[in-house]
Structure 1
């Protein structure tokens, strides 16, 4: 089945249920998962990415089991909020080549260098990652994901650590991508352009629908909590 399918999928860690049983079929091209800190958003992201196994129920990503790491390389990619938590190699070319090597590509470095050249960044290839700005690191992580051409990209608060010009550039780049994007966020402004919004509260889906149907109630609830 196309898309991401959860059937009664839940997550319990050390006796504490972080995600209630969720049954969802995610097929839309632009989806947001909205909620407060502690609502279960990151747990859901990890579940979809195969980084957190389901304690019960099942998860299928583009027909693949998230436990099948090889299949997941071409099914899903993740852009974390903090690129320093994602980058593992000292130079740009090593970082870009890694995913392609994991996919068994013998031309990994050649392809990575060609991608940098196409972006007008050929001079970045041998640069230490430590010399890049936060925005440049986020750009490097996105390019690493795009080289693997996953069908879905998970975005974990992707704009939080960026200044406004960098945020706008990244937003434009993401808007043009053909992949399905699932954005994890606490900010209602970040769901602009989404077709579907999942409001997560206490590890359960409180509302699920188009932004116009979900956002007014979410904002009203956040205002109520602020007053309380």
Structure 2
């Protein structure tokens, strides 16, 4: 894992055209530079937040332009992307690939070029450091939802990315697990970009980006963006349907 004294990550530069899925525009053209340590991306369900996360990670391309770090395109240079960007998805079952904990932890390191034996040794070391050495050969299916989420976080951190993308990281977790995960995330030196529809989970954010219908509607400090976002959500909540996001 990266030590608490790790240097600040390089800015992520986003200068790209539309993102289309099945011929439909999901994200409008974007021109952003992400340099703050704690960034929140807010918006309603279906507004394009998760697509924005996938674009940042280099998992999907835009129509033109690039998402880059130090001039390197993350969509084209996948090894660089693995070193720069880690993702914690909302549902750990959509992220976990292997039947045992040690295999899951070793996978990312294998992608970075380590041998199987070296990757497993690092996995066991990481589990010992977390007081979870007994997890090594446990079936992932035997873990609780919160434990699976922690496993996914640990597997990402072992790859030492400079930026973590968090997609609704507290969804479906009970309160003690949420508090533990928040404490762990707050102590990390990496840049955290948290995708959420819940402003209450962004207490530490230095910057908020509000995405609505695939476009950036507001971008600035929480004190400026949150009151406007909350007021609009209250206005929309006065209606009985949300058909405006359909189609």
Q: TM-score, normalised by structure 2?
A: 0.90
- Post-superposition offset of 1:137: 0.3
User: Which residue of 2 is the match for residue 71 of structure 1?
Assistant: 80
Deviation by residue 1:88-140 (Cα, 9 ceiling, x = unmatched) = 00000000000001101231111110010011111100000000000000000
Are 2:30 and 1:22 equivalent residues in the alignment?
yes
- Aligned residue for 1:83? 92
Inter-partner Cα distance in structure 1 for 2:40 and 2:70: 18
Cα distance in 1 between the residues matched to 2:91 and 2:235: 30
1:114 and 1:13 map into 2 onto residues whose CA distance is 41
Paired residues of 1:10 and 1:57 also in contact (CA < 8 A): no
Partner of residue 36, structure 1 = 44
CA distance in 2: counterparts of 1:30 and 1:99, whole angstroms? 24
Q: 1:110 aligns with which of 102, 118, 121?
A: 121
Work out whether residues 48 and 59 of structure 1, in 8 Å CA contact, stay in contact via their aligned partners in 2.
Answer: yes
User: Partner of 1:58: helix, strand, or coil?
Assistant: strand
Determine if the alignment matches structure 1 residue 185 to structure 2 residue 196: yes
* Cα distance in structure 2, aligned partners of 1:7 and 1:175: 29
Q: Give aligned pairs, total.
A: 228
Following TM superposition, the consecutive aligned residue runs of length 4 or more in structure 1 with deviations greater than 2 angstroms are: 61-64
- Partner Cα separation in structure 1 for residue 39 and residue 64 of structure 2: 24
Gaps in structure 2 of 5+ consecutive residues: 1-8, 240-247
TM alignment of 1:110-189, pairs within 5 A? 110-189=121-200
CA RMSD of superposed structures (Å):
1.2
Structure 1, unpaired ranges of 5+? none
Shift of 1:172: 0.4
The residue that corresponds to 2:21 in the other structure is 13
